[in-house]
Amino acid sequence: MVYHIPALLKESIDGLNIKPDGIYVDVTFGGGGHSMEILKRLKTGKLIAFDQDEDAQMNVPDDNRILFLNQNFRFLKNNLLFNNISSVDGLIADLGVSFHQFDEPERGFTFRQDAPLDMRMNKSGNVTAAILLNTSDEESLADIFYYYGEFINSRRIAREITAARTLKPFTSVSDLIHAVEKLAPHRQEHKFYARIFQSLRIAVNHEIDCLKDLLEQSLSMLKSGGRLVVLTYHSLEDRAVKNFMKTGNFEGKENKDFYGNTETPFRLITRKGITPGEEEIRLNNRSRSARLRIAEKL
């Protein structure tokens, strides 16, 4: 079984503008696809790889140029400083879920297989999707589906879930499907369930908060001229990355200096983002929603 096939691999690695003696960070190691390509371009340089999923450790090569840290990337700065690294030449983040996580039924990331409602990227985390569904009040659930799934009927979804759990606590994927299936639009059921699961996965793993922490810390750790390379897979992630690269904040608010020039910490290498071509999507359908953004620290 393939652990993961990275989207836009060449474009991502080219975007790092790798120097053979540089220090680079892959904050989403996964199957090691990006890391292996970085190592090919390094000579005396160093690669620090993060992944909070302990399963990723099986893919780490025996190479003294790589340091693997089984950590959430929101702790980027502390971990780098602890390892005597005060600045880096580039950082890459491939956000979202690996093939491995989707394809292991017991992880509960997909609606396509019945399994426990887990969805934790870090298997030692305390809160699973089932716990979230069984303990959150209706308003909190509505917020999860509104903000993370962009559902206009989020309150109705939350109401169906709270009603269903009074009859039987949520434990499995099928429990959740049965609770909301009457709300799924005809012939768009898969998209509906995908957004339901996306919403819960983001909430379970605090993905947006972690991403914002990562971006802010990357700014302080990148050298001048260092590259920030980020692959996103849905609009919430992409909006945060786009705004941060453009303005240095998540609201996209432009700050101007005394002369009216926009103050920004980055030079945009990609203004609109790069998306996969038809051939890549044909070979790797899961890449279809990927968007690559690259910026260089000023």
Q: What is the pLDDT of residues 144-184, one digit of tens each?
A: 999 999 999 999 999 999 999 999 999 999 999 999 999 99
Backbone angles phi, psi at 274, to 5 degrees: -110, 135
* Range 135-151 average pLDDT: 97
Q: What CA–CA distance (Å, rounded) separates 149 from 144?
A: 7
Q: What CA–CA distance (Å, rounded) separates 126 from 59?
A: 25
Class of the CATH-defined domain 106-205? mainly alpha
Query: Is pLDDT larger for residue 55 or for residue 198?
Result: 198
Q: Any residues with CB less than 8 A from the CB of 298 and at least 6 apart, and which?
A: 224, 264, 265, 266, 267
Kindly list the domain boundaries of the chain, sorted by start residue: 9-99+207-297, 106-205
Tokens of 266: 């980055």
Q: Residue 137 pLDDT > 90, yes or no? A: yes
Beta strands 291-297 and 222-232 are antiparallel
Confidence band (pLDDT; 50, 70, 90) for 200? Answer: very high
When computed from its CA atoms, the radius of gyration of the chain, rounded to whole angstroms, is 20
**61-109: per-residue pLDDT in tens?**
999 999 999 999 999 999 999 999 999 999 999 997 766 665 676 787 7
Q: Any residues with CB less than 8 A from the CB of 260 and at least 6 apart, and which?
A: none
- Three-state DSSP at 113 gives coil
Q: What is the pLDDT of residue 97?
A: 74
Pick the CATH number of 9-99+207-297 from 3.40.50.150, 3.40.50.720, 2.40.50.90, 3.40.50.300: 3.40.50.150
The H-assigned helical ranges of the chain are 9-16, 33-41, 76-82, 99-103, 129-135, 138-149, 154-167, 173-180, 189-205, 207-221, 235-247, 278-283
Please measure the distance between the N-terminal and C-terminal CA atoms of the chain and give it in whole angstroms.
42
Of 67, 91, 89, nearest in space to 79 by CA: 67
Q: What CA–CA distance (Å, rounded) separates 126 from 122?
A: 9
Q: What is the 8-class DSSP label of residue 27?
A: S
Within a 10 A sphere around the Cβ of 122, how many other Cβ atoms? 15
Q: Are 31 and 98 in contact (CB under 8 A)?
A: yes
